[in-house]
């Protein structure tokens, strides 16, 4: 039996390799309108850094995208499809805080207000 080959063009680069960049910028989005959300996702898809080997070393900049379960719902992903994701992802960080050791200063009650809700759909 042969080993399955991964299609590196279908995997984000940050999944298989650590970038170790000295600077990073994070943008957090909330999708309130499905058509606008779809336009945003479609607009950035071609710019996402994949896991394909880089010619000549690491690029000057990289871009990756991540969705929360609330974000996938906002994009219209059907519930039966969302059920295929691991339960840890579906529960979210806030629901799993105790299990993850977010106690005392790191307790969700002390998180910035943005993270105490499902306001972030994408980063």
In order along its 123 residues, the chain shows pLDDT tens digits of: 667 889 999 999 999 887 888 899 999 999 999 999 999 999 999 999 999 998 888 888 999 999 999 999 999 999 999 999 999 999 999 999 999 999 999 999 999 998 888 899 999
> Does residue 1 sit within a domain?
no
> Does residue 122 sit within a domain?
no
Dihedral (CA of 7, 8, 13, 16) sign: positive
> Does residue 47 sit within a domain?
yes
Structural domain boundaries, residue 79: 8-116
CB-count exposure of residue 32 (10 Å: 0-12, 13-18, 19+): exposed
> Does residue 3 sit within a domain?
no
> Does residue 123 sit within a domain?
no
> Does residue 121 sit within a domain?
no
Task: Supply the pTM of this predicted model.
Answer: 0.84
> Does residue 62 sit within a domain?
yes
Counting the structural domains of the chain, the total is 1
């Amino acid at each position: 039996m042969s080993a399955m080959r991964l299609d590196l063009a279908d995997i984000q680069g940050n999944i298989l390799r650590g970038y170790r960049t000295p600077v990073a910028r994070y943008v957090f989005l909330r999708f309130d309108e499905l058509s606008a959300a779809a336009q945003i996702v479609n607009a950035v898809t071609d710019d996402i850094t994949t896991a394909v080997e880089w010619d000549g070393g690491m690029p000057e900049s990289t871009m990756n995208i991540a969705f929360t379960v609330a974000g996938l719902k906002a994009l219209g992903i059907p519930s039966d499809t969302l059920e295929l994701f691991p339960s840890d992802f579906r529960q979210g960080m806030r629901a799993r805080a105790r299990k993850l050791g977010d106690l005392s200063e790191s307790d969700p009650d002390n998180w910035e207000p943005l993270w105490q809700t499902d306001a972030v759909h994408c980063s």
